């Protein structure tokens, strides 16, 4: 136990590394201010187990030392690693498939018609994790317009976690993660990764071309200049407090074209009274003003 640490202060009594409630609070405050993610005391064991790996990796012996590191000027890289360790990256292809059905039948036909006449289509997968959401949108587009990569159609896939973005930009996925992609689409739009014995598939050049991965913290400045036709921000806000959620829903309204579409996660909700959206489907909103 660290010098001066009373066993009553310990948040995780039998851990390999001493972890006090004061350490927990410092970490929770930093994760909240940096990434908007709320860590209540019920998450104490999760915080311990995810960050114990970081302590081991960098050779520290106590969470007190770890807190000193992440609070200090030299701790920028470790702060980022800590945020990445605390994010939940669960995702899959065609998750909440009704959103893709809605795009296919109601939104994309008109947008692609405009793109064929020289217009542009901009889509944002905000909090894209390892890219399955953005590539599912790309697949939906390519099924409607196989030549989409040659049109001015682009999907921005952004996340706070650089490791997830790195994975997404490889475009390589294990076949066992692809259960939600119909066989026919797999054959058409993916190639077998050489040497993987068929266990891994890579997205086609056209899918690569449609999707651009960028690091972006939703709480900070957004560098994009143009507006979007569609935003997917699903299963990201559930980790944020109400005030942060409200701010981000408002900022999405500012960067969506009038009539643009916003798809959110199944357990998320926007109070439309306070924001310029109409609810047009299950967790699907349309920006007012078209
Ligand atoms: C559960 S995943 C959701 C992935 C995908 N949207 C889906 O629904 O399948 C949540 C993602 O949000 C990202 N995230 C969390 N806080 C963020 C923030 N402040 N800015 C940007 N991305 C953030 C995490 O890194 C994680 O990859």
Per-residue pLDDT for 7 more than 90? no
Task: Give 42-56 pLDDT, tens digit per residue.
Answer: 999 999 999 999 999
116 is catalytic: no
Task: Report yes or no: 125 and 157 within 8 Å, Cβ to Cβ.
Answer: yes
pLDDT of residue 246: 94
The answer to whether the CB of 168 is under 6 A from ligand 1 is: no
pLDDT of residue 166: 98
Assign 3-state DSSP to the chain and report helix, strand, coil percentages, each to 5: 50, 20, 30
The answer to whether the CB of 34 is under 6 A from ligand 1 is: no
pLDDT of residue 5: 65
Per-residue pLDDT for 13 more than 90? no
Give the pLDDT mean for 223-248.
Answer: 96
Give the pLDDT mean for 186-197.
Answer: 96
Per-residue pLDDT for 272 more than 90? no
Give the pLDDT mean for 233-248.
Answer: 95
pLDDT of residue 65: 96
Where along the chain do its domains lie? 7-86, 98-287
Task: Give 149-167 pLDDT, tens digit per residue.
Answer: 999 999 999 999 999 999 9
Higher-confidence residue: 3 or 127? 127
Query: How does DSSP assign 172-213, residue by residue?
Result: EEEGGG-TTS-HHHHHHHEEEPTTTTTSEEEE-HHHHHHEEE
159 is catalytic: yes
DSSP state of 138: H
Q: CA 268, CA 242: separation in Å to the nearest integer?
A: 11
Q: Does domain 7-86 have CATH number 1.10.155.10?
A: yes
Ligand 1 centroid to residue 162 C-alpha, Å: 11
Closest Cα to atom 9 of ligand 1: 91
Ligand 1 centroid to residue 14 C-alpha, Å: 31
Per-residue pLDDT for 168 more than 80? yes
Per-residue pLDDT for 2 more than 80? no
pLDDT of residue 3: 53
Q: CA 44, CA 33: separation in Å to the nearest integer?
A: 18
Band the pLDDT of 11: cuts 50, 70, 90: confident
Band the pLDDT of 129: cuts 50, 70, 90: very high
Closest CA to 270 of 289, 245, 251: 245
Identify the architecture of domain 98-287 in CATH.
3-Layer(aba) Sandwich (3.40)
Task: Give 60-76 pLDDT, tens digit per residue.
Answer: 999 999 999 999 988 99
pLDDT of residue 231: 98
Per-residue pLDDT for 14 more than 80? yes
pLDDT of residue 12: 81
Task: Report yes or no: 259 and 110 within 8 Å, Cβ to Cβ.
Answer: no
The answer to whether the CB of 69 is under 6 A from ligand 1 is: no
**Mean pLDDT score of the chain:** 95
Closest CA to 106 of 270, 254, 235, 286: 286
Per-residue pLDDT for 143 more than 80? yes
Mutation choice for ligand 1 from 32, 50, 85, 87, CB with most ligand atoms inside 8 A: 87
Task: Give 81-117 pLDDT, tens digit per residue.
Answer: 999 999 999 999 999 999 999 999 999 999 999 999 9
Percent of the chain with pLDDT over 70: 98
């Amino acid at each position: 136990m660290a010098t001066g640490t009373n066993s009553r202060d310990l948040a995780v009594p039998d851990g390999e590394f001493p972890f006090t409630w004061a350490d927990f609070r410092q970490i929770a405050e930093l994760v909240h201010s940096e990434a908007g993610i709320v860590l209540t005391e019920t998450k104490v064991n999760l915080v311990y187990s995810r960050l114990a790996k970081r302590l081991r990796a960098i050779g520290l012996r106590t969470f007190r030392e770890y807190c000193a590191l992440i609070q200090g000027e030299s701790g920028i890289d470790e702060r980022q690693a800590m945020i990445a360790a605390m994010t939940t990256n669960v995702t899959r292809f065609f998750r909440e498939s009704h959103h893709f059905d809605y795009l296919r039948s109601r939104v994309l036909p008109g947008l692609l018609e405009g793109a064929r006449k020289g217009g542009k289509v901009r889509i944002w997968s905000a909090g894209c994790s390892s890219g399955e959401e953005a590539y599912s949108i790309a697949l939906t587009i390519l099924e409607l317009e196989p030549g989409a990569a040659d049109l001015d159609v682009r999907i921005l896939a952004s996340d706070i976690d650089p490791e997830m973005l790195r994975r997404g930009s490889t475009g390589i996925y294990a076949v066992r993660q692809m259960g939600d992609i119909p066989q026919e689409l797999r054959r058409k739009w993916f190639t077998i990764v050489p040497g993987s014995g068929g266990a891994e598939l890579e997205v086609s050049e056209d899918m690569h071309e449609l999707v651009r991965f960028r690091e972006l913290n939703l709480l900070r400045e957004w560098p994009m200049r143009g507006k979007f036709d569609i935003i997917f921000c699903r299963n990201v806000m559930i980790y944020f407090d109400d005030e942060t959620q409200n701010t981000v829903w408002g900022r999405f309204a500012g960067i969506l074209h009038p009539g643009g579409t916003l798809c959110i996660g199944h357990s998320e909700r926007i109070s439309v009274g306070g924001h310029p959206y109409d609810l047009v489907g299950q967790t699907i909103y349309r920006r007012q003003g078209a």
